[in-house]
Amino acid sequence: MPSTRGANIPSSLTGGQYSLLRAVLGLATAGAGAFALTLPAETLVFGPIRSAIGASMGVAGGLMLAIGLAPKTWGIVAMIGLIFVSGLILHPWLGLALVPLYVMGVFAVEGEPFGSWGARGRTDPDGGWKFPPSFYTYAAYIYCLILLLAAAVWFFGEEVQPWGAATGDSAAPWGWAGAGAATLLLFHLAAWLITSRTRSRSGWLTILTTGLLLQWLAAPLGLGLGGLLLLLFFVQPRWFRALGRRAEEDTLFFDGDCALCHGMVRFLVAEDRRAVFRFAPLEGETYQRAFSPPERARLPRQTVLVRRRNGQVLSHSDAALYALQRLGGWWWVLGTAGLAVPRAVRHGAYRLASATRFALFGRAKGACPMLPPKFRQRLQP
């Protein structure tokens, strides 16, 4: 049974998974700003100059947030731009709906998670960053307050009159549809508050279902883009179980001269909370012992190889996607989705990246990636 004290439940987000979600938030913000820049001048509520400034802030702040460059500073720029843009396009409460996500999901984060601009070249890829467990509780409460404000404006404002009158029921001032929307809104709010404490899949699905129904029945009260993005952060990576058992350790062989391969090892070390991978360079003793000369002659050299505990050897995109699935969480989702791409296409893209890796990323300074002592035991000669 999950604890009802949500603030005490640690998040299962890793630094890389958080950076992935932050990138989605930043790109969505930048996309909304870019769309606002294309609107005709006569349709702009705030005038062409102020609208262009607000939309540009959304684009610039969103892009910088996506790459993790000074996220607290650029997050403020992006949030202001998004609130401004929300008055021009999309959901009328888009900007306010994302305020709790920016405040708790960006500004309250401690340290530089893996995948941030400031984490490049850091010895410890994990970096000891912290995602605030209180995010879920405070974000849900703030969002619900904003939604109640939107409901008050919608139910008692001018825009509700033609909608309520369309029902033809004089006994109900807002009509039967309004009564249904009010009831559904109560369930929706309750689902947010309960799920912020339990972080259960059933609660998350209830929020999504009631939010989509509200979007159809009373659009200003529905999830909209802001609610969907906030709901995305409520997904718990532990819902997507990693492939294989923890006791089944795999060995990943990488090109010791390749800076890109070193980056991949650092990524796996930072995100592999179960420590299921060991790493060894293709030029090292471990590789020589693991495969006989005839086997080495058949294996591709310019690739990453994964040798599973059962002896199976994976290469090219198969190895990369398998590694993602072994990490679990959002990486499992991406790895599983990647398997839907035809192998010929996947391998072709992998070979292209392999052929250009030195030109794009350069050569590594040493055979072993830069790691702190606590992770070096997972590197084999």
**Calpha distance 74→198 (Å, rounded):** 32
46-51: Cβ within 8 A, 24+ apart: 46/84, 46/87, 46/88, 50/84, 51/84, 51/88
Q: How many Cα atoms sit within 13 Å of 130 on the Cβ side?
A: 6
Report d(CA 25, CA 15) in Å as an integer: 15
d(CA 14, CA 129) in angstroms, rounded, equals 9
pLDDT at residue 168, rounded to an integer: 41
301: CB partners within 8 A, 6+ apart? 255, 282
How is residue 381 written in tokens?
A: 């000669």
More confident residue, 99 or 2: 99
Q: Per DSSP, what are the bridge partners of residue 254?
A: 281
Task: Calculate what percentage of the chain has a pLDDT beyond 70.
Answer: 86
Averaged pLDDT of the chain = 81
pLDDT of residue 124: 79
Which alpha helices (DSSP H) does 173-315 contain, by range?
175-198, 201-217, 224-233, 259-271, 285-290, 293-298
Eight-state DSSP code of residue 130: B
Residue 58: in which H helix or E strand, if any? Answer: helix 48-67
Give the global pTM. Answer: 0.85
Tell me the HSE value of 265 on the side-chain side, using a 13 A CA sphere: 32
pLDDT at 173 over 50: no
Determine the Cα–Cα distance for residues 243 and 372; give it in Å rounded to an integer: 27
Q: Which of 39-43, 210-214, 273-277, 321-325 has the highest mean pLDDT?
A: 321-325
The domains of the chain are located at 6-238, 250-376
Query: What is the band of 175 on the pLDDT scale with cuts at 50, 70, 90?
Result: low
Q: How far apart are CA 188 and CA 306, in angstroms?
A: 46
232-254 pLDDT tens trace:
999 999 899 888 877 678 999 98
Asked whether the beta carbons of 126 and 91 are under 8 A apart, the reply is: no
Residue 161's pLDDT is what? 38
163: confidence class by pLDDT, cuts 50, 70, 90 = very low
What confidence category does residue 18 fall into, taking pLDDT thresholds of 50, 70 and 90? very high
In this predicted structure, the answer to whether residue 159 has a pLDDT above a threshold of 50 is: no
User: Is residue 346 scored above 90 in pLDDT?
Assistant: yes
Residue 21 has pLDDT above 90, yes or no: yes
Position 11 pLDDT exceeds 70: no
CA distance linking residue 51 with residue 177, whole number of Å: 35
Q: Could you give the CA distance from residue 46 to residue 258 in angstroms, rounded to a whole number?
A: 52
CA 98, CA 59: separation in Å to the nearest integer?
15
Query: Could you tell me if 188 and 207 are in contact, meaning their C-beta atoms sit under 8 angstroms apart?
Result: yes
Q: Which of 148, 136, 144, 112 is nearest to 15 (CA)?
A: 112
pLDDT score of 323: 93
Higher pLDDT, 103 or 45: 103
Pairing outcome for strands 305-307 and 313-314: antiparallel
What pLDDT shows up at residue 23? 94
Mean pLDDT for 114-125 is 82
Residue 45, phi-psi category: left (phi > 0), alpha (psi -120 to 50), beta (remainder): alpha
- Residue 127 pLDDT > 80: no
The stretch 96-114 carries a mean pLDDT of: 83
Residue 140, by phi and psi: left (phi above 0), alpha (psi -120 to 50) or beta? alpha
Q: What is the pLDDT of residue 94?
A: 59
pLDDT value of position 12: 74
Please determine, for residue 160, whether its predicted confidence score (pLDDT) is greater than 50: no
Q: What backbone phi and psi angles, to 5 degrees, belong to 246? A: -65, -35
The residue-averaged pLDDT of 9-34 equals: 86
pLDDT at 210: 92
Bridge partners, 73 (sequence order): none
Average pLDDT over residues 170-189: 71
More confident residue, 161 or 255: 255
8 Å CB contact between 65 and 26: yes
